[in-house]
Amino acid sequence: MTSDLSMENLLNHCNRLWIFGYGSLCWKPGFQYSSRKLGFIRGYSRRFWQGNATHRGTPNNPGRVATLVKDEMNSVWGVAYELVGHAQIEQALKHCSHRELELGGYIVKIQPFQIKNSTNVIPVLVYMATPANQHYLGPASIDALAEQVTNSEGPSGHNIEYVCRLADWARHECPEENDQHLLQLDEKIRQICQERKICMRTAMGPDPTPLSQYHRKKCHQAERLRASLIMASLKQSHYRKHKTLHIEQNYEISSKTISTNAK
């Protein structure tokens, strides 16, 4: 992959590109892609240290969104989206550049991405925020983060949705990660919502397509498994019935033979 990460250069030199999502891109990418891979990048931790005043908050009441911080002993799990061809690459880069670079204050880097259950490593584009950008809020306790999240909302929805859908996604698709910062924040947010009678269903909004597809896939898998178990049970029942009938017939034949010989 080229070292010049400007959109113009990427469009001119790349026919295939991978973008790594570790926040809302995991469950709501917002662009078309050819394939997706689960996996992780090394040397970082996910933290909700970036402020957001355009999507999950307002200038007067910014929300909290995820960024990556250097952590040599840790890894961050997420999704790598494969973009193939000029049209897909252009659409995705325009979407991410506007949302992450222009509005969010993020920068873009190339990082090696380890595909789950594979030895393959691929280079991916990663958007991350640094303390140098104007929206950076920095560290805070889980309690303080949860308070800010539960009180923030923007044009894209409630800040609660951003954090809790990411936590749901992580539990379902990447249980290996065990991101305690994310999971503890999610737990605290849900606790606050319960105590203050905040409706989680309203805050979360309608199910996004990627997560719904995931649940539908799991339901279909469960239905297929149940159907196969039923078929196996029926076959076993038929086998037992046939075997019992065969034994009974043999018994009748043997009984008649013994009776005839006795005479």
Query: Which residues are tagged catalytic?
Result: 100
Amino acid at 42: R
Conformation bin of residue 80: beta by default, left when phi > 0, alpha when psi is -120 to 50 = beta
Tokens 């999240």 belong to residue: 149
- What's the Cα-to-Cα distance from 209 to each of 14, 46, 216, 232, rounded to whole Å? 28, 24, 10, 34
Residue 121's nearest CA partner among 167, 88, 75 is: 75
Q: What is the DSSP string of 79-134?
A: EEEEEEHHHHHHHHHHHHIIIIIIIT--EEEEEEEEETTSS-EEEEEEEE--TTST
Residue 177's nearest CA partner among 18, 34, 19, 26 is: 26
Give the span between the Cα atoms of 218 and 40, in whole angstroms.
23
Return the structure tokens found at 84. 């193939």
The helix (run of H) or strand (run of E) holding residue 36 is: strand 35-52
